[in-house]
Amino acid sequence: MPHGARAQALADWLLTTDPRQRIRLAMAGFAALLMLCCAAIVNLMALAGLARQDWVGWWTLITLSGLALQLAAIRSGWSLRLRDPSLTQVQIRYALACNAAGYAILGEARGITPVILSLVLMFGIFGMSPRQLAANMLFALGVFAAAFVAVAWMDEPGRKPALELAYAAMIVLVLIGSTFIAIRLQRIRRRLTRQKQALTGALAQIGHLATHDELTGLVNRRRMTELMAVEQLRCARNERPLILALLDLDHFKHINDNHGHAMGDQVLRAFAATVQATLRSTDVLARWGGEEFVLMLYDTDPACAAPLLERVRLAVQALETRATERVLRATVSIGLAIGEPGETVERILERADEALYLAKAHGRNRVVVHGAALETASAQDAGHGTWPEI
């Protein structure tokens, strides 16, 4: 097995393959490594005669055993049943208790305790709430108060109360300062998170506005042009025709002139909602400009396109929009074009527009399907409903 593969296999065995578990184990392992280094320094001081070796030995055994149990609880998955699977609170409070016990037994070397304490508190800066940080500070004050009492009770030879008072003041300052900074960082982090969420929402809104019509919420012309180009390529690969239709509200200028643009906007919104409710979820309706709309039918049998549009026409014909004085009704004229092999989107739209023109010319409120013999269409009488293929 290559060296890189062996290293990866070892990492997977130690840290598991679950990304969240790997993060938990990596953080817990790093904290344990720091405590191991601190324990090594404490033992060196004991060997130098600054602390009792027997006490330091027991302290080291208890400290490292507790760390090993915490790592085992995370690695085995046992901690997953708890509210805090990372055991962050347990690790920090255990380290604080061990730190306080170290202060009590280190004798002349207890001056390193504030340094170790600051390392312990560093792991709680980002992972805990302000309430948890404050609770840990109170817990640390309690265990260190017990350590101060234990030192006074032991009354070791050469004990210097003034120096111990300085140590106590330093530890209190470290606890209060670290907690204040951590809470401040938490507030900054929450503010940045809120700003990030607001920025993400604003970007999403800008992206939506760039691709959708603000009034109707439909896809806008630019986005529809992109979608039609993509769909044309897909249809060419699958040897299916691209089917496009142009929809135009009849006598819409009359609505604006007689009832105001606000009522015209209301009619456009109602029209868009009605058409979308009639179509399939895969079909795309876009506002092309003013009261004109483009419809692209996905994976549709050409023979089914006209009946579908006839249902759209009937749904719009039944639409009622309430104005101040009366109920407004609207109708729609529709021109449908079935794409031919190699035909461009622009040409299909042109043919749909020609069919729409015929629908308008022959009484409106109808569906006209563009075919090969456009020049013969004007001789036919459409009536209401679907104009025969021309």
Confirm if 193 and 185 have CB atoms less than 8 A apart.
no
Distances (CA, A) of 353 to 106, 220, 369, 373: 91, 18, 10, 15
Running along the chain, 390 residues long, what does each successive block of 10 average in pLDDT? 67 76 86 87 86 89 92 89 87 89 84 79 72 86 91 80 85 85 84 91 86 91 94 90 95 86 91 93 92 93 92 92 77 94 92 94 92 40 44
pLDDT at 379 (0 to 100): 33
pLDDT at 48 (0 to 100): 84
pLDDT at 341 (0 to 100): 83
Phi, psi of 247 (to 5 degrees): -120, 135
Q: How far apart are CA 148 and CA 169, in angstroms?
A: 11
Q: How far apart are CA 352 and CA 368, in angstroms?
A: 9
pLDDT at 124 (0 to 100): 63
pLDDT at 372 (0 to 100): 33
pLDDT at 3 (0 to 100): 62
Q: How far apart are CA 344 and CA 26, in angstroms?
A: 57
pLDDT at 331 (0 to 100): 93
pTM, 2 dp: 0.56
Q: How far apart are CA 234 and CA 366, in angstroms?
A: 30
Q: How far apart are CA 10 and CA 7, in angstroms?
A: 5
The ranges assigned to domains in the chain are 3-205, 221-387
The topology (CATH level 3) of 221-387 is: Alpha-Beta Plaits (3.30.70)
pLDDT at 327 (0 to 100): 81
Q: Give the ranges where 155-289 is alpha helix by DSSP (H).
A: 161-211, 221-238, 252-259, 261-278
